[in-house]
Amino acid sequence: MAAPMNEPPLTPAALAACIDHTLLKPDATPADIERLCAQAVRFGFKAVCVNPWHLSLAVRCLRNSAPAAITVAGFPLGASQTLVKAREAGLAVEQGAAEVDMVLNIGALKAGEMALVRQDIFEVVQACGPAPVKVILETCLLTDAEKELACRLAVDAGAAFVKTSTGFSSGGATEADVRLLRSIVGPQIGVKASGGIRTLDDALRLLAAGADRLGASASVRMITELTTGGGA
């Protein structure tokens, strides 16, 4: 995919700085996390995103390195009780998480329980203190009207990012959803695209649509493709 006219081509370093190098599979081992962190350091990824059980290991592996260690809360369903979700997020920050990606309460949103959804996000944001919170909307399960409402609740509750997907439901990030989320939250709130981002072309299209962060497990492949001239 060609870079837009009048814009310089995206460099491998610039792309890497947008990527949360992610491994959230339930069968991931400590050796897998160590490999993930080594790749993040080698390629200059923004962060690694791992499940809470692996967070302490990721923090140790990345100590004195540029990539941050981040984790998830209420993952992947968003159906944990708010007290549990907030405690999970707060504990993650205590253990060294630089950011927390939480799943909103999808069922409550669809049921119209707006106060509950906002409070759920707000309590996680408060538990994380200065650490930014990304709110995963699971866009494949929502109507456009629900996506807009979820974005507005997330912003109102103090979230730093809205995020498309967990990667564990029936669909992932789409250009249309990224454009919609960006149009709703404006330039002051981050938009993270995640789920199904497997190629350099996927990454470039989603960045062009308005994402400023990508969650991906195929990160090394995309950087290698860009380095060798693919997708330019």
Is 232 a domain residue? no
**What is the predicted pLDDT for the residue at 5?**
44
Q: Is 101 tagged catalytic?
A: yes
Is 2 a domain residue? no
- pLDDT tens-place string over residues 4-38: 445 667 999 999 999 999 999 999 999 999 999 99
**What is the predicted pLDDT for the residue at 83?**
98
Catalytic, out of 101, 120, 177, 202: 101
Domain that holds residue 210: 13-227
- Which pTM value belongs to this model? 0.94
Is 5 a domain residue? no
Q: Is 46 tagged catalytic?
A: no
Residue that the structure tokens 């993952």 belong to: 75
- pLDDT tens-place string over residues 54-89: 999 999 999 999 999 999 999 999 999 999 999 999
Is 114 a domain residue? yes
Is 196 a domain residue? yes
Is 4 a domain residue? no
Neighbours of 227 (CB within 10 A): 14
Query: Looking at residues 192-196, what average pLDDT do you find?
Result: 98
Q: Is 144 tagged catalytic?
A: no
Cα–Cα distance measured from residue 184 to residue 17, given in angstroms and rounded to the nearest whole number: 24
Is 25 a domain residue? yes
Is 8 a domain residue? no
**What is the predicted pLDDT for the residue at 121?**
98
Catalytic, out of 46, 134, 147, 163: 163
Structural domains of the chain, count: 1
Catalytic, out of 46, 134, 147, 192: 192
Name 100's bridge partners.
71, 133
pLDDT confidence tier of residue 229, bands split at 50, 70 and 90: confident
CATH assignment at residue 79: 3.20.20.70
